[in-house]
Amino acid sequence: QVGIGSTTISAGPLSISAGQRIPKAVAIAEAGVGRARAEWSIFEAEAKGPNASATAQANILGASAMARAEVGSASASAGPFKLTAGLGVDTGVRVGLGGAEVKLLGTGIKADETGAGVSVLGSGVSLFGRD
Q: How far, in Å, CA of 115 to CA of 17, rounded?
A: 27
Please indicate, yes or no, if residue 96 is contained in any of the structural domains. yes
Tell me what pLDDT residue 11 has. Answer: 44
CB atoms within 10 A of CB 123: 18
Confidence of residue 18 (pLDDT cuts 50, 70, 90): low
CB of 87 within 8 A of CB of 72?
Answer: yes
Please indicate, yes or no, if residue 7 is contained in any of the structural domains. no
Please give the mean pLDDT across all residues of the chain.
Answer: 85
The single-letter code of the amino acid at 29 is A
Cross-strand pairs, 92: 66, 103
Tell me what pLDDT residue 91 has. Answer: 97
DSSP string, 25-72: EEEEEEEES-EEEEEETTEEEEEE-SEEEEEEEEETTEEEEEEEEEEE
Please give the tally of structural domains in the chain: 1
Least confident among 9-13, 15-19, 63-67, 81-85: 9-13
DSSP 124: E
Tell me what pLDDT residue 7 has. Answer: 40
| Greater model confidence, 16 or 56 | 56
Q: How far, in Å, CA of 49 to CA of 67, rounded?
A: 17
Please indicate, yes or no, if residue 16 is contained in any of the structural domains. no
Encode pLDDT of 59-89 as tens digits: 988 999 999 999 999 999 998 999 999 999 9
Q: Pairing mode, if any, of strands 14-17 and 91-96?
A: unpaired
Its domain, for residue 111, covers 23-127
Tell me what pLDDT residue 22 has. Answer: 72
Half-sphere exposure of 43 (CA within 13 A, CB side): 3
Tell me what pLDDT residue 5 has. Answer: 42
- Is the model's pLDDT at 45 over the cut of 60? yes
Please indicate, yes or no, if residue 29 is contained in any of the structural domains. yes
Tell me what pLDDT residue 129 has. Answer: 61
**pTM of the complete model:** 0.74
| Greater model confidence, 40 or 21 | 40
Please indicate, yes or no, if residue 4 is contained in any of the structural domains. no
Please indicate, yes or no, if residue 110 is contained in any of the structural domains. yes
